[in-house]
Amino acid sequence: MAPAPPPAACFSAAEVQRRLAAGACWVRRGARLYDLTGFVRQHPGGEQLLWARAGQDVSADLDGPPHRHSANARRWLEQYYVGDLQGDPQGPVENGSVASANTQKTDPVMEPKLKAVDWDKDLVDWQKPLLWQVGHLGEKYDEWVHQPVSRPIRLFHSDFVEALSKTVWYSVPIVWVPLVLYFSWSYYGAFAQGNVPLLAPFATGYSVAMPESAFPGLFLLGLLVWSLLEYLIHRFLFHMKPPSNSAYLIMLHFAMHGQHHKAPFDTSRLVFPPVPASLVIGFFYLLLRLILSAAVAGTLFAGSLMGYVIYDLTHYYLHFGSPHKGSYLYHLKAHHVKHHFAHHQSGFGISSKLWDHFFHTLTPEEPHLKTQ
């Protein structure tokens, strides 16, 4: 016979009030209490929306309209259950801190929809590195990887390799912006001197001279090229469905992008780490140099690299920022949240929705967004 579960902890209204006063973010659903302090910064709707619900009953948010994914939200919430509220669950606490919540409802567009997981019964052992385990999930991998959880991921046994697979967001501008400035300054000087051919030396006979005024146009073209590459890579490479009989392709998919969909709030895995990024960026630069002259290739490369920096920083902000409702970034964040939690095969643009418009892969509109 399985052992009986331990009794739930009980908290008085005064104790809940003390925890709130100390800076904790507790919410309740009926008499059940949940400590969301560790999730505040990760909340898809931003910190302010969650802090506004601290101490309140979120039953109306989870059980009532207009939430289309309330079942997922209820399951997710159970990850943070800490105990029960003593006394009348409908009664207020001192200062009204734990009160019925019909007032400020959370934003349904940004509502977290993470899956509640019994970590002991999950398909993988979360106490061990995941990369070697996911390859054996076979047909179950695609469904498993698109059931996001709120916890960090470890990929490798080796601490050194694991460190190379993670990074902080500010490493992106620190590493790559100086390179953008170096290439821009160097090759603007080449354009200023004149006689810049378009193509590489092997095609000199077919090349044309580029004027100094071409520099800003080539830089902007690089930005546009990156935005298209970003879309195509995300749609056709990152969201390919690996064959269930290939453990290595499943592992490759998980290392490239699956890990991000499984743990979308793992702060160390939201931007591309500099070491693997340098391999991809170096390959892209060499490819440009095979076709174009040094100045033209370098200018296009600088624009594309700047586009990559904007992309990665925007991506991080879409996960952790709190854009003003109705702003461009608010709609872009709503677009990305729906990509993660509802429509995995649409909404591939990160820094803009340009190519989603062009290729008709926009995520379905929320009804109340259409009127804003």
Residue 253 assigned as binding residue: no
DSSP H or E run through 333: helix 328-341
- What is the Cα–Cα distance from 164 to 59, expressed in whole angstroms? 42
Say whether 157 counts as a known binding-site residue: no
| 136 marked among binding-site residues | no
Residue by residue, DSSP assigns 53-121 as TTTSB-HHHHHSTT-TTHHHHHHHHGGGEEEEE-S-TTSPPGGGSS----SSPPPGGG---PPP--TTT
Supply φ then ψ for residue 84, to 5 degrees: -115, 155
**Side chain identity at residue 243, one-letter code:** P
DSSP summary character for residue 151: S
270 vs 171: CA distance, rounded Å:
12
Q: Which residue has the tokens 């003003």?
A: 324
Helix (H) or strand (E) holding 218: helix 214-232
For residue 32, what are the β-bridge partners?
29, 84
Is 260 annotated for ligand binding?
Answer: yes
Please check if 335 is assigned to a binding site: no
Judge whether 190 and 295 are in contact, CB under 8 Å. Answer: yes
In the chain, the amino acid numbered 137 is L
CA dihedral 36, 39, 41, 46 (to 10 degrees): -70
In angstroms, the first-to-last Cα distance of the chain is: 57
Is residue 340 annotated as involved in ligand binding? yes
Please indicate if the annotation marks 69 as binding a ligand: yes
Instruction: Please give the single-letter amino acid code of residue 36.
Output: L
Tell whether 239 is in a known binding site: yes
261 marked among binding-site residues: yes
Is 257 annotated as a binding-site member? Answer: yes
Residues in binding site for Zn(2+): 234, 239, 257, 260-261, 315, 319, 336, 339-340
Residues in binding site: 43, 69, 234, 239, 257, 260-261, 315, 319, 336, 339-340
Residues in binding site for heme: 43, 69
